[in-house]
Amino acid sequence: MYRSQRLGLKYLTASTVMFGAMVAFGLLSSIYYIWPGFLLNVFNFNTAKIVHIDGLVIWLLMGFLGAIYWFLPQELECEVEGIALAEILFWVFCAAVAVVVAVLIFVQYGAASESSMWFINQGRKYVEAPRWAALGIVAVMGVFAYNVIGTAVKARKTTGILTVLIFDLVPLVVLYLDAFPEIRNMSQDLFWWWWLVHLWVEATWEVLIGCIMAWTLIHLVSASRRVVESWLYVEVAMVLGTGILGLGHHYFFIGTPRYWFAIGGFFSALEPLPLLGMVVHAVYDAGSNHLRAANRPAFYWTLAEAFGNFIGGGVWGFMMTLPQINLYSHGTQWTASHGHFAFWGAYGCGVIAVLYLALEKSRGYDGLDSRAWRWSFALLNIGMLGMVGALLVAGMDQAFYERAIGGSTWGAFLAMEGRPWFVEGMWTRSAFGLLFACGYATLVYDLLTARRPEAAVTESMAAAGS
């Protein structure tokens, strides 16, 4: 095994730990909606939510880095350039994440001063990490870009997937710099902030996961490189074609010119089209393999990625993307429902598929199968469906009564907190969140004890015999 692959495994392990932290803080955050006075002035809702959402960004980012450090040396058949530096930065990254979480838990917030921004919280939604840690992320991404490009130069070779990845590294690194400026005009601030949040998530990350899933298909079902690369080009063109100007759906009602209604609505309404193409591709591949693969967990998580992306991003997104609907749905639990589903489908399932693929190869197995992965697959997906269903009902209730009828007043907001559908929605979300957490625990158990298929068959035969 290459050193880079060992580093990839470390990143994937760290990613799994962060996944757990994200789930734990998500569960905690859900409790505040049931008991609004929960941990008041001890550990407020806003901090729990920060750790939950930033935990999501970090677990996925670590998962992507782990996947690429895993696949890259196989792709170029040589060790990754600058691997020693990458190994050092992995530990720096982990230590920085631990310190930031500790500061967010124990210090939480400070005075409105430069020092608070440097050492406690930068204050920008979803990228709240203090400035020193944000600089650390820039360093990690810079070294990662050097690793990828340097290795291609060293190997004097590139492939279609790698070329797409290298082009994607530029916006991946550059857009993160948008986390730093202090803009006092709120409209201007939001205008640029969405470049970071949307263009990372709905453009550069989509391309990144496209490259990762392309490698996954090559290693998982021995898909033809030429087929996978041709399809990757088509998908990347379509995703970028719709996703870049789809940014406009975040520009409704934030003080931007009116033409963003048409641009944002039109391009984001086009976003389900490439997602449907991905579903067709997934069904084609699944059919070609008769729904069989040696590594069944990785195969099923790959399928879940295609369908989850379509439903979470496409169906849930299209419901609320046109400006007339978005006026009422924006910022309600409806948005949270879409966010949960889309992130899970587009990225979460993909990272778990890579986890299983790397696990199989690192343990020298030829395939993986167990009862535990089926349980974790079912619990995680049912838990997610239950959560997004509950959030959708609560969010529609909010959009209807609080926004459309109540006119978004403070009184309407308070009245909403007691409405039965909203309250029941919050309880249901927490219950399914607990189920999701059980799925996570089962996933970790399976990752620690995963076996090759024949071992699982032998054990089940022995159990049947006894």
Binding footprint of other proteins on the chain (CB under 8 A): 224, 226-227, 230-231, 234, 262, 265-266, 269, 272-273, 276-277, 279-281, 283-284, 287-288, 310-311, 314-316, 318-322, 324-325, 328-329, 396, 399-401, 404-405
Buried-state track 96-125, b at ≥16 Cβ within 10 A, e below 16: bbebbbebbeeeeeeeeeeebbbbbbbebe
Q: CB nearer to other proteins: give 97 or 311.
A: 311
- Residue 315 C-beta: closest distance to other proteins, Å: 5
- Residue 404 C-beta: closest distance to other proteins, Å: 4
Q: CB nearer to other proteins: give 191 or 252.
A: 252
- Residue 264 C-beta: closest distance to other proteins, Å: 12
Residues 3 and 79: their CA atoms lie apart, in Å, by 7
- Residue 146 C-beta: closest distance to other proteins, Å: 34
Q: CB nearer to other proteins: give 8 or 274.
A: 274
SS3 207: helix
- Residue 313 C-beta: closest distance to other proteins, Å: 10
Q: CB nearer to other proteins: give 266 or 427.
A: 266
Q: CB nearer to other proteins: give 37 or 287.
A: 287
- Residue 228 C-beta: closest distance to other proteins, Å: 9
Q: CB nearer to other proteins: give 257 or 287.
A: 287
Is residue 214 within 8 A of residue 232, CB to CB? The reply is yes
Q: CB nearer to other proteins: give 190 or 325.
A: 325
State the DSSP string of 325-376. Answer: HHHHHTTSHHHHHHHHHHHIIIIIHHHHHHHHHHHHHHTT-S-B--HHHHHH
- Residue 290 C-beta: closest distance to other proteins, Å: 9
SS3 295: strand
Contacts of 292 (CB under 8 A, 6+ apart): 299
